[in-house]
Chains A and B, each alone.
Chain A
Amino acid sequence: MLKGFSKGTKVTVLTIWFLFTIFPLYWMFLTSIRPVREVTKHFFWPRSNSTLESYRALFRDYAFGTYLKNSFVVAIAASALVIFIGMLGAYSLARYRFKGKSQVMLVFLVTQMIPGLIALAPLYLLLSRLNLLNTLIALVLCYLGGMIPFATLMLRGFLQQIPPELDEAALIDGCNRVSALFRVIFPVALPGVAATFIFSFVQCWNELFLAMVLIDSDANKTFPVAERSFIGAYFIEWGGLAASVMIGIIPTMIMFGLMSKFMISGLSAGIVKG
């Protein structure tokens, strides 16, 4: 498509951006395997005195096992619910034509313009009245509510690519609509469902501000909130922080690596094809 630009330019641009993209993580990796007293040194390659001490400290001096578990529980629960409820809504928007549909679409689309940050204080007040402060359930509910609009639009994009004859056949075979949706359409839409699930999972995995405001007790902290314990009043414990960064990135990178192709078509279906 771009024959005007030479191949050399292309390789150069792609290489520079590649290095720029991965450098921060590479640097964190090097920081994480340095012995504590060499953390601030500037060596560009792993050295023979590399150590996993910073990683061990995460689980010995800090309760990172618990934080990771909390994050996993919240992210998986919220994403699974997002998929279930989002599939129902997406099915309706993809298959039915009904009065008020464009208004419903507007309700979904306008949410994309509302800054999530303004919900911090109201949700705290709401959840404290429900006695759910300091619980993982609070986070699951808030993440679910926050992600539903986008996930529904994204799933709708995938469902539209599936021929309606498929659900017609299932209905004729005696399925009701809900079982047709989850038994027949769901497996066909699996790549799209997986992409949506992963996108939701990553958002939950990375969310900081709500978790900071809603969770107070150490036992219920999620991973991003716990990272803040490396930040002291006067200095930051870079070795421990770097090690936790490397651990936290493993699940998300695996997911993105597996699904990057579907993520690209899926995310744009959610955002643009409203």
Chain B
Amino acid sequence: MSSTFRIQEKNSGKTRNILAPLWFLLPALILICIFIYYPVIRTAGLSLQNFKLFAQDDIYFAGFQNFSVIFNDLHFKRIMVNSVIWVVVSLFFQFTIGFVLALYLNTKFKFSGLYQAIIFIPWALSGFLMGLIWKWIFDDNLGIMNTILEGIGLIDKPIPWLSNDKWAMAAVIIANIWYGVTFFVIMILAALQGVPKEILEAAELDGASSRQRLFLVIVPFIKNTLVLIILLRVIWITNFPDLIFGMTSGGPNEQTHILSSWLVQKITYDQDWGAGSALGMFILIILFIFSVFYLLAVKIEDGDK
């Protein structure tokens, strides 16, 4: 797609031309190494150390002690289950709603420009603050959610949204769906705008119904995009503790923690950086394994890149 620029600089020796692209990239690469790759290596090191911020004179190599602390934690199983539910349920609804909205927004209507701008609202504030807002809405006694649900007759008595562990999990996931649809609308809308009109017209002439056009023409055309954004989204949702942090801080009784919110708690509140880093490595490894299997399973083709 991109035409490669032929190098026709005047008075420039051959060596300079070979190095030019790397000079341009050097600042970015240095920053990436220092601020992204170095921390990964350091985290790997920390995960094998007994490292507590409040006891800095007591730092020593501890082997896999941090990992065993995590795996043997009373809440570990619950947190794993929560993480899976958090990712799968959020992703399913974010994707489905995002897809439908993107299809609608791909056709022009009176307020479509304005609507596109409104889609961005969830991104206008930090996930943590959005979590606090939802906490306010879902509050067991003062929250508007129960008032609304009672008002339209869906429930008889208030739901203990944030004090019951199952309802609390439902509440944080609802908030996460609200937050994450934006991403899918943007990505899918951009992909839909790349579907050539001729293909759709040809399919219509051949008598394909709109459902057939959707599933037999449009979806195959944007398949690689869908595959990639779902993978990125799984990684991203797994590492998105902000909402939970704002809404429940993992409570009641640690029952709404996911792996990444647990990590934040280990780093910021417990200040046990050894355990926090072990948790970080655990997340990284799980996501890596998942990504490999996912990409093998869907066999991404070198198609519509």
The stretch among B64-72, B75-83, B163-171, B281-289 that forms the contact with chain A is B281-289
**Contact, CB under 8 Å: B210 / A123:** no
Query: Contacts A1-B200, A177-B20 known; A160 to B1 CB distance under 8 Å?
Result: yes
> What are the residues of chain A within 8 A of B21 when measuring CB–CB?
92, 96, 98, 101
Chain A min CB distance to B235 (Å): 6
Task: Give which listed residue, B31, B39, B127, B193, contacts A265 with CB less than 8 A.
Answer: B193
Helix, strand, loop or mixed for chain A's interface?
helix
Q: Given that A114-B36, A118-B283, A145-B36 are known contacts, is A88 also in contact with B24, CB under 8 Å in the complex?
A: yes
Instruction: Give the CA-CA distance A14 to B127 in the complex, in Å.
Output: 23
Given contacts A2-B214, A249-B124, contact A89 B25 (CB under 8 A): yes
Interface extent on B, as a size class?
A: 35 or more
Do residues A149 and B129 form an inter-chain contact, with CB atoms below 8 A?
no
Q: Which residues of A contact B253 (CB under 8 A)?
A: none
Could you mark each residue 176-191 of chain A with 1 if its beta carbon is under 8 Å from any beta carbon of chain B, else 0? 0100000000000000
Q: Which residues of B contact A264 (CB under 8 A)?
A: 116, 186, 189-190
Interface residue A245 (Cβ < 8 Å from any Cβ of B): yes
Instruction: Verify B8–A171 contact, CB threshold 8 A.
Output: yes
Q: B147 — which chain A residues lie within 8 A by C-beta?
A: 42
In the complex, B22 has a CB within 8 A of chain A: yes
Q: Is the CB of B28 within 8 A of A85?
A: yes
Residues of A within 8 A of B10 (CB): 171
| Complex interface: chain A residues within 8 A of B36 (CB) | 111, 114, 119, 145-146, 149
Query: Which B residue sits closest to A101, measured CB to CB?
Result: B21
| Chain A 248-266 interface 0/1 with B at a Cβ cutoff of 8 Å (1 = within) | 1100110011001101110
Q: How far is the CB of A112 from chain B (nearest CB, A)?
A: 6
Say which residue of B34, B125, B144 sits within 8 Å of A248 (CB atoms): B125
Q: Could you say which of A1, A114, A209 contacts B268, with CB atoms under 8 Å apart?
A: A209
* Smallest CB separation, B93 vs chain A (Å): 12
**Does B238 interact with chain A (Cβ within 8 Å)?**
yes
Say if the beta carbon of B122 comes within 8 Å of chain A.
yes
Over the window 83-104 of chain A, the binary record of Cβ atoms lying under 8 Å from chain B Cβ atoms (1 yes, 0 no) is 0011011011111111001001
Q: Within the assembled complex, what's the spacing in Å between the Cα atoms of A17 and B97?
A: 9
Chain A residue numbers with a CB within 8 Å of B132 are 227, 231, 236, 241, 245
Q: Which residues of A contact B22 (CB under 8 A)?
A: 92, 98
* Contact of B142 with A by CB under 8 A: yes
A sample of 18 more A-B contacts (CB under 8 A), given A1-B103, A21-B121, A40-B142, is: A1-B200, A1-B210, A10-B104, A31-B136, A96-B21, A111-B36, A112-B232, A115-B235, A115-B238, A118-B263, A118-B280, A144-B31, A149-B36, A202-B124, A206-B125, A256-B121, A260-B117, A268-B191
- Return 25 A-B CB contacts under 8 Å, by A number: A2-B214, A17-B101, A21-B118, A21-B121, A27-B137, A88-B24, A96-B21, A98-B18, A113-B287, A113-B288, A115-B284, A116-B239, A117-B264, A121-B276, A122-B42, A126-B34, A144-B31, A145-B34, A167-B5, A209-B242, A241-B136, A245-B129, A260-B113, A261-B113, A274-B305
Interface residues of B (CB under 8 A from A): 1-10, 18, 20-22, 24-25, 27-29, 31-32, 34-40, 42-43, 46, 97, 100-101, 103-104, 106-107, 113, 115-130, 132-137, 142, 144, 147, 178, 181, 186-187, 189-193, 200, 209-211, 213-214, 218, 225, 228-229, 232, 235, 238-239, 241-242, 260, 263-264, 267-268, 273, 276-277, 280-281, 283-284, 287-288, 291, 305
